[in-house]
Amino acid sequence: MNIPEILQWVKFGQKTGCLAAERKGIVKKVFVDKGLIVSSSSNDPKEYLGQIFVFFGWLTEEKLNEAFKLQGETNKLLGRILTESYGLKDNQILHALKVKIEETIYDLFLWEEGKFIFSEGIDEMREHDRLDTAITIDQVMFEGARRLDEWKEFRKEFPNEDVVFKARPGVTELGDLEKDFVAKKIFKSIDGIKNLRGVLLDTHAPEYRGVEALAKLYWGKYIEPAKKAISRPKQTDMKKIILQEAVESFKSGKFELSYDMVEQYLLREPNDAEATTLFQMARDALLKSLRVACPSGAVPRLTIDFSQLSEKVFSSKEGYLASRVNGQWDVKSLVMVSPLGEMESLRILKKLSDEGLIKFSKGT
């Protein structure tokens, strides 16, 4: 069954429960009450509530880090901390929650494969995450289909994230898009240097809304490619050989290599049970080793001048995280603030450490 079929089943059956979908360690849950969507959750860092606050400009990364630490000390809900200590209004919290829930649901339409299970009842749903006004399945179906069509069209033009955009000559205002908050924020971040992924990281934009804004700006002739990505050629069919090499790498303790190889294998063979099991084993082993190499309480410090960073890092993700290394935030803080997630953040920090660009010291 695909996502629209599952949602139709939920709608016509007037189901109450939790639809959980999983793909490569990312788990999304959609909570429904009598066929209406009332909440959702996700372990995808890009969809965490804190990222939404930074995206709207209501919090800085520094303030978000402070709020996380205060949450750990007081055990209060993040929303309550932000209203009591950081001046956010209840309507801002509710709006951010609605955006978070929508992004989690609509992103499922972009999944080409995954597993799902439906459980009766919504006892596990936290009541404070429930929407005041439920979202109808029909609304989700219409918007999800629209997003999927636009996503495919944009990806047909720009198949990967290596494309770098710049403002078209003479463009300083956005005309009809001046009232579009997302488009304006994305446009301000476009500098002819950052690639597509770098722009999304810089703005903390939710995945689809950010790409949608880029599409509007491109098709509206406000931006143009400074460097167009080249489609990656299809590789010859050596799937089983790749999987066997991944197994051997895992056995020899090369967890990072094994993880990368089996991840690529699963892109072509998503239903391979052996590869799925190996992926989880490699992921757990790699994460464990990264936590040892980059202790959560250690504070990374740059060993070179900040101005030299651009000469040393080779991807937008590395550049994003390296630019947040300020000699004050520990590893735990960097992971919490980053939209990259624990695995990717730790991999980048370890790489920067291995290359001598940062050193870890004990936190104060």
Helix and strand element counts for the chain (H, E): 16, 8
* pTM, rounded to two decimals: 0.74
Is the separation of the CB atoms in 56 and 104 below 8 Å?
no
> SS3 of 363, please?
coil
Q: Give the model's confidence band at 26: pLDDT under 50 very low, under 70 low, under 90 confident, else very high.
A: confident
Highest mean pLDDT among 103-117, 245-259, 290-304: 290-304
> SS3 of 180, please?
coil
Q: Percentage of the chain surpassing pLDDT 90?
A: 28
> 119 pairs with which residues across the strands?
18
Report residue 344 as tokens.
């990717």
What's the Rg (C-alpha) of the chain? 21
Average pLDDT, the chain: 85
Q: Which residues contact 85 (CB under 8 A, 6 or more apart)?
A: 67, 70
**Whether pLDDT at 114 is above 60:** yes
Q: Residue 227 belongs to what H/E stretch?
A: strand 223-227
Buried b (16+ CB within 10 A) or exposed e, 169-193: eebeebeebeebebbbbbbebbeee
**Closest to 10 measured CA to CA, from 117, 133, 82, 104:** 117
| pLDDT 10s digits, 65-87 | 999 889 888 888 888 889 999 99
Report residue 206 as tokens.
């939710």
Pairing assessment for the beta strands 223-227 and 36-42 based on DSSP bridges: unpaired
Q: Give the model's confidence band at 180: pLDDT under 50 very low, under 70 low, under 90 confident, else very high.
A: very high
| pLDDT 10s digits, 194-205 | 889 889 999 999
**Whether pLDDT at 311 is above 80:** no
**Closest to 266 measured CA to CA, from 285, 281, 279:** 279
Q: Given this model, what pLDDT does residue 164 score?
A: 92
